Amino acid sequence: MKLISTRQSKNRCYLVAALILALTLPSMAAENGWTELKFPVHETITGISFVSPKLGYVVTSGSKYARTNDSGKTWNVYTLGKEDPQYDDVFFLNADTGIICGQRGFAARTTDGCKNWVRSFWGDTTIWLTSVIMLEGGSAVMVGLIPGEMPKGEVFRSTDAALNWKQLPDSGYGFGELFYRKGEPICFQSYGKLHYSVDSGRTWSTLKTVAGKTGRATSFYGQTGVICGNNAMIACTWDRGRTWTPIESREEKVHFTSVELVDQDTGYVAGTSSTLMKTINAGKSWRPEPVLKDTVDFACMKLVGKYLYIGGTNGVLLRKKVK
């Protein structure tokens, strides 16, 4: 009887230990080398920004921001104001200075590591501020749109670390996400156009992309560039944007929201309905990369050192080593 009792006791201990482990694991395996990180809020993750491989921030559709100090294994969640609108993007220049932007013309910045936040945009509250970046030297660029049948794009620039903003001349309709990587120009799309600046947003030039398509996200690596958008739109350039080639896709009902080039040949696009696709030949062809069994709409993607992060609905946050 003692032996049976001891075995039963051990089995109960193993069961309890397994249950505790399952509840406390910071991440779980997905597919194709992806790891699903445990995020504490079941809202859409709309923006991702990392200062270092360990220190990062995300914002959500429920007006929250979260900070990690361990590469996304654990998160602390914060709110700025109960009446804040949806947050759409976040960008941190360093551990102290960052900015959040979102709907209803919302933008707020911190210069003391999130101890205090100050509203920094007091313009038209009908503007949906969708994307923001900050640069060394005090420059910052923010884009957005005024909703409507043909959404009108708006561009703003700051020269005092996102405290005050000046509106730039009208450049088109339906602006997408800002792209910036050290050594590359600042870029964003409007309807059938790519706008870029090589002088921290002081002056802008325009290139034609794909007529009749609404672009959303942009990524460049060397000579290779990829844009993606609604109705499974993907187009590639191999001459730094001078000419663009549309890429056919079978996923016509998918809206692509994000793109990241890991190098000149390897890249990923993500979008609605759990769609994630990968190229290994500079965008000439793309293959699906299944990640999750449950359906999720991916909303943002960010390359951080050797790792790629993807955020989506219901607090889904994925990570994969891609370098």
User: Tell me: the pLDDT tens digits for 17-61?
Assistant: 444 444 444 555 568 999 999 999 999 999 999 999 999 999 999
Q: Which two tokens stand for residue 216?
A: 């959303």
Residue 303 parent element (H or E)? strand 298-304
Q: Which residues, listed in sequence order, are joined to residue 97 by a DSSP beta bridge? A: none
Is the CB of residue 109 less than 8 Å from the CB of residue 89?
Answer: no
Question: Do β-strands 287-288 and 276-279 pair in parallel, antiparallel, or remain unpaired?
Answer: antiparallel
Q: Which amino acid is at 188?
A: F
CB contact at 8 A, 236 and 242: no
The pTM of the full predicted model, rounded to 2 decimals, is 0.89
Between 196 and 249, the more confident residue is 196
What is the DSSP code (8-state) at residue 179? B
How would residue 179 be classed by pLDDT, with cut points 50, 70 and 90? very high
For the chain, which domains are there?
40-172 (2.120.10.30), 209-323 (2.130.10.10)
Reported as a pLDDT band with limits 50, 70 and 90, residue 250 is confident
pLDDT, mean over the chain:
89
Average pLDDT over residues 135-143: 95
Rg (the chain; Cα; Å): 21
